């Protein structure tokens, strides 16, 4: 109990970062608004300001900081500052508080030349910047990589206020110093922060512990934790990760592994970073069996193995020899895919070369990842060549492979290419998914002019496309573009004996407000007959066609027959002929939609 109580910190009352805010009377709001309006819009704003202040009792020095706090354009703030500084009224000069508000504005906007000029002017006039303003400036300098100047301002703030800047600014500076490996300077800053209760927090400790552990000074890092929370108390997984990493960097595998077991015993769940640190350490020690065990553990916990982890494995095994634990196609493919997703195609190709050199055969995932990489960089030509290499190696592209290529060609406006890959996909009995359909529908509707104009060149470049042929015909016959696109895809599916998939797509198009029409009916009937399911059509597709709609369906059915092997005809036409006597001679309201120019 005494140990537990010793870890409880008493409440502290930190020094406020700035004086209590000055009340903002209602009439000040009007004045501030007027000043900002004058500065923003008046060509002779100096005279307008003189006039405005001559009519009110509020001095410039009493309102300036409110204006600086509310404007977002540093130029407006500087205009007011310079105008106020040149006024002849010595009793109405801007004080340190007003100048500090301007400092914050300039720091927020990263106008560092003006920040330095203002600091120098304030120094000459013996005006002290507030702690809040200096904290803003320090944070801005750190964010912009000007760490040395930020450190100088940190010391200035300490000298002026006998107290460090706020904890946000201090932590930013501390972190930057650690990243630059200036651990000794960071340690001094940290010690000054700790002396002043309320000027440090858990993040401050974490920054220092990580920095010390990176320098292999793990014991000092543990001492900082003990000082903050008590001996033997490590507060969370972030600190465990830092300590474990420190032990590995020091080459102390036993302590690292012991601490890893301890954190699990205490109920902390290792993160992907924790496993990555452990795997990297075991790889350097050539303990590949331990690596395998951790990979299994990660998989059981549902954690994704990232590229960095696999990099550690492959690099170590290439460097130290494989033994009985060589990386397999799965390992290589996972890393290659990770590089592609991080838009690092160069590294993916380099690793692919290593994979081939080690005489491993790329699998479907490997090739698909590279195809995706080329498509993401807009190199559809190399993507297509990789696809051909994949097929030449005897591998069958999957739905992801085809969909990536179709999407790439659609985005590039090469709709005929996309169409040919879609039909190749169906020919190889690869069932498309919703993403495939979305690419095709959007590709067709967004490239109508291209689809029509490419007809003359299509035979030279690409085998005549069933989908493109019907899309052009329907557009020429006056069908709405989206309906024509859906029907063209439906026709392709039915021609390749994928009627069930086609009916699912029909339901999706209906849910989007594009209702079945005579062409949809003709396509589905044609598909059912091709699959030898002609006796099912009455229970599968609705038949509410008037005479004109019936004729449209027959025309498209006859066109579909042209794509059958020579000498064959679809049973669909026979069904249409038997239906002809029963159709209504006049247009009736039903679920079918016929384009205006095709209606009687």
pLDDT for residue 453: 74
- What's the average model confidence in pLDDT over 390-415? 95
In this predicted structure, the answer to whether residue 590 has a pLDDT above a threshold of 60 is no
3-state secondary structure of 584: strand
In a domain? residue 296: no
Nearest to 349 by CA among 364, 332, 363, 361: 332
pLDDT for residue 595: 52
Give the whole-angstrom CA distance, residue 247 versus residue 259. 9
According to the 3-state scheme, what is the secondary structure of 303-333? CCCCHHHHHHHHHHHHHHCCCCCCCCHHHHH
In a domain? residue 513: yes
In this predicted structure, the answer to whether residue 382 has a pLDDT above a threshold of 50 is yes
In a domain? residue 426: yes
Q: What is the pLDDT of residues 12-62, one digit of tens each?
A: 444 444 444 556 677 788 999 999 999 999 999 999 999 898 878 888 888
pLDDT for residue 586: 40
- What's the average model confidence in pLDDT over 380-404? 96
Dig out the tokens for 239 from the structure: 């600190």
Q: What percent of the chain has pLDDT over 90?
A: 56
In this predicted structure, the answer to whether residue 589 has a pLDDT above a threshold of 80 is no
pLDDT for residue 351: 86
Average pLDDT value over all residues in the chain: 85
Nearest to 386 by CA among 377, 483, 155: 377
Tokens 């689809």 correspond to what residue? 451
Give the whole-angstrom CA distance, residue 306 versus residue 579. 61
| Cα→Cα distances 88→49, 50, 82, 91, 125, Å | 14, 12, 12, 9, 16
Dig out the tokens for 240 from the structure: 């465990």
Residue 133, class by beta-carbon neighbours within 10 Å (0-12 exposed, 13-18 middle, 19+ buried)?
A: buried
pLDDT for residue 336: 85
In this predicted structure, the answer to whether residue 344 has a pLDDT above a threshold of 90 is no
In a domain? residue 456: yes
* Boundary of a domain, candidates 129, 157, 180: 129
Q: What is the pLDDT of residues 472-492, one digit of tens each?
A: 999 999 999 999 999 999 999
Return contacts of 84-89, CB within 8 angstroms, 24+ apart.
84/60, 87/60, 89/59
Give the whole-angstrom CA distance, residue 490 versus residue 61. 75
According to the 3-state scheme, what is the secondary structure of 519-571? HHHHHHHHHHHHCCCHHHHHHHCCCCCEHHHHHHHHHHHHHHHCCCCCCCCCH
Going 119 to 123 to 126 to 129, the CA torsion angle's sign is positive
In a domain? residue 99: yes
Give the whole-angstrom CA distance, residue 144 versus residue 11. 35
In this predicted structure, the answer to whether residue 10 has a pLDDT above a threshold of 80 is no
pLDDT for residue 92: 67
More confident residue, 453 or 233: 233
pLDDT for residue 455: 59
Give the whole-angstrom CA distance, residue 167 versus residue 157. 13
In a domain? residue 91: yes
| Cα→Cα distances 479→222, 419, 517, 519, 596, Å | 74, 19, 10, 10, 8
pLDDT for residue 558: 85
Residue 53, class by beta-carbon neighbours within 10 Å (0-12 exposed, 13-18 middle, 19+ buried)?
A: buried
Domain count, the chain: 2
Return contacts of 213-221, CB within 8 angstroms, 24+ apart.
213/242, 213/243, 213/245, 213/246, 213/249, 214/178, 214/181, 214/245, 214/246, 214/249, 215/181, 215/183, 216/246, 216/249, 216/250, 217/183, 217/246, 218/243, 218/246, 218/247, 218/250, 218/252, 218/255, 221/246
In this predicted structure, the answer to whether residue 506 has a pLDDT above a threshold of 80 is yes
Going 177 to 178 to 182 to 184, the CA torsion angle's sign is positive
Element (H, E) at 600: none
- At residue 529 the predicted structure's pLDDT band, cuts being 50, 70 and 90, is confident
- What's the average model confidence in pLDDT over 363-373? 95
- At residue 541 the predicted structure's pLDDT band, cuts being 50, 70 and 90, is confident
In a domain? residue 295: no
* Boundary of a domain, candidates 97, 129, 161: 129
pLDDT for residue 592: 42
Does residue 502 contact residue 490 with C-beta atoms inside 8 Å?
Answer: yes
Tokens 């919703």 correspond to what residue? 434
- At residue 549 the predicted structure's pLDDT band, cuts being 50, 70 and 90, is confident
In this predicted structure, the answer to whether residue 173 has a pLDDT above a threshold of 80 is yes
- What's the average model confidence in pLDDT over 111-125? 95
Dihedral class, residue 143 (left if φ above 0, else alpha if ψ from -120 to 50, else beta):
alpha
- What's the average model confidence in pLDDT over 81-99? 84
Crossing angle for the helix pair 167-179 and 202-214, to the nearest 10 degrees = 10
Across 87-239, the runs of DSSP E, i.e. the strands, are none
In a domain? residue 489: yes
3-state secondary structure of 262: helix
- At residue 320 the predicted structure's pLDDT band, cuts being 50, 70 and 90, is low
**pTM, to two decimals:** 0.59
Q: Which domain holds residue 554?
A: 398-600
Give the whole-angstrom CA distance, residue 84 versus residue 477. 75
In this predicted structure, the answer to whether residue 272 has a pLDDT above a threshold of 70 is yes
584: which strand partners? 546
Q: What is the pLDDT of residues 299-311, one digit of tens each?
A: 888 887 777 777 7
Q: Phi then psi for 72, rounded to 5 degrees?
A: -110, -10
* Boundary of a domain, candidates 80, 100, 129: 129
Does residue 375 contact residue 368 with C-beta atoms inside 8 Å?
Answer: no
| Cα→Cα distances 213→40, 236, 263, 383, 413, Å | 52, 16, 17, 45, 54
pLDDT for residue 563: 78
Does residue 405 contact residue 371 with C-beta atoms inside 8 Å?
Answer: yes
pLDDT for residue 459: 44
Nearest to 597 by CA among 491, 504, 474: 474
Give the whole-angstrom CA distance, residue 6 versus residue 232. 12
Q: What is the pLDDT of residues 406-421, one digit of tens each?
A: 999 999 999 999 999 9
In this predicted structure, the answer to whether residue 594 has a pLDDT above a threshold of 70 is no
Q: Where are the alpha helices (DSSP H) in 342-465?
A: 345-357, 364-376, 380-392, 399-411, 415-427, 434-446, 448-453, 455-461
Torsion of CA 508, 512, 516, 521, to 10 degrees: -20
- What's the average model confidence in pLDDT over 204-220? 94
Q: Phi then psi for 546, rounded to 5 degrees?
A: -85, 180
More confident residue, 393 or 453: 393
> How far does CA 153 lie from the centroid of its chain?
36
């Amino acid at each position: 109990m005494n140990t537990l109580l010793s870890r409880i910190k008493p409440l502290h009352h930190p020094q406020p970062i700035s004086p209590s805010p000055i009340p903002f009377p209602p009439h000040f709001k009007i004045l501030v608004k007027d000043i900002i309006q004058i500065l923003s819009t008046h060509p002779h704003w100096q005279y307008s300001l003189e006039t405005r202040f001559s009519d009110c009792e509020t001095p410039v020095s009493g309102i300036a900081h409110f204006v600086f706090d509310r404007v977002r354009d540093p130029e407006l703030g500087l205009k007011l500052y310079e105008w106020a500084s040149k006024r002849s009224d010595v009793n109405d000069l801007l004080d340190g508080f007003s100048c500090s508000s301007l400092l914050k504005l300039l720091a927020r906007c990263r106008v560092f030349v003006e920040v330095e000029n203002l600091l120098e002017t304030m120094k000459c006039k013996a005006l002290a910047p507030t702690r809040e303003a200096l904290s803003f400036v320090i944070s801005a300098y750190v964010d912009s990589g000007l760490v040395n100047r930020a450190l100088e301002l940190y010391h200035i703030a300490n000298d002026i206020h006998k107290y460090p800047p706020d904890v946000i600014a201090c932590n930013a500076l501390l972190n930057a110093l650690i990243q630059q490996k200036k651990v000794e300077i960071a340690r001094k800053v940290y010690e000054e922060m700790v002396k002043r209760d309320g000027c440090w927090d858990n993040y401050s400790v974490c920054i220092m512990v990580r920095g010390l552990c990176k320098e292999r000074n793990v014991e000092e890092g543990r001492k900082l934790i003990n000082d903050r929370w008590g001996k033997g108390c490590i507060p969370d997984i972030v600190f465990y990760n830092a300590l474990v990493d420190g032990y590995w960097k020091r080459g102390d595998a036993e302590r690292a592994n012991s601490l890893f077991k301890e954190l699990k015993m205490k109920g902390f769940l290792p993160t992907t970073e924790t496993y990555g640190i452990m795997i990297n350490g075991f790889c350097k020690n050539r303990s590949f069996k331990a690596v395998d065990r951790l990979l299994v553990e990660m998989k059981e916990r549902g954690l994704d193995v990232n590229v960095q982890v696999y990099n550690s494995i492959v690099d170590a095994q290439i460097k130290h020899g494989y033994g009985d634990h060589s990386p397999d196609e799965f390992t290589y493919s996972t890393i290659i895919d990770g590089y592609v997703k991080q838009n690092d195609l160069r590294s993916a190709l380099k690793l692919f070369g290593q994979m081939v050199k080690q005489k491993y055969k790329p699998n479907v995932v490997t090739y698909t990842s590279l195809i995706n990489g080329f498509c993401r960089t807009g190199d559809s030509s190399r993507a297509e060549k990789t696809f051909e290499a994949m097929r030449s190696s005897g591998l069958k592209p999957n739905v992801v492979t085809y969909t990536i290529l179709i999407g790439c060609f659609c985005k590039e406006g090469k709709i005929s290419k996309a169409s040919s890959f879609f039909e190749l996909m169906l020919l190889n009995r690869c069932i498309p998914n919703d993403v495939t359909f979305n690419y095709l529908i959007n590709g067709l509707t967004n490239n109508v002019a291209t689809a029509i104009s490419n007809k003359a060149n299509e035979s030279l470049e690409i085998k005549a496309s069933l989908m493109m042929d019907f899309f052009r015909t329907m557009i020429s016959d006056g069908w709405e573009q989206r309906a024509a696109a859906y029907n063209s895809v439906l026709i392709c599916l039915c021609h390749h004996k994928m009627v069930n998939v086609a009916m699912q797509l029909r339901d999706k198009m209906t849910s989007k407000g594009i209702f079945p029409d005579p062409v949809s009916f003709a396509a589905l009937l044609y598909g059912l007959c091709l699959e030898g399911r002609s006796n099912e059509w009455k229970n599968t597709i609705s038949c509410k066609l008037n005479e004109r709609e019936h004729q449209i369906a027959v025309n498209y059915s006859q066109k579909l027959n042209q794509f059958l092997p020579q000498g064959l005809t679809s049973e669909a036409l026979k069904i249409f002929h038997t239906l002809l006597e029963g159709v209504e001679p006049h247009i009736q309201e039903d679920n079918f939609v016929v384009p205006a120019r095709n209606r009687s």
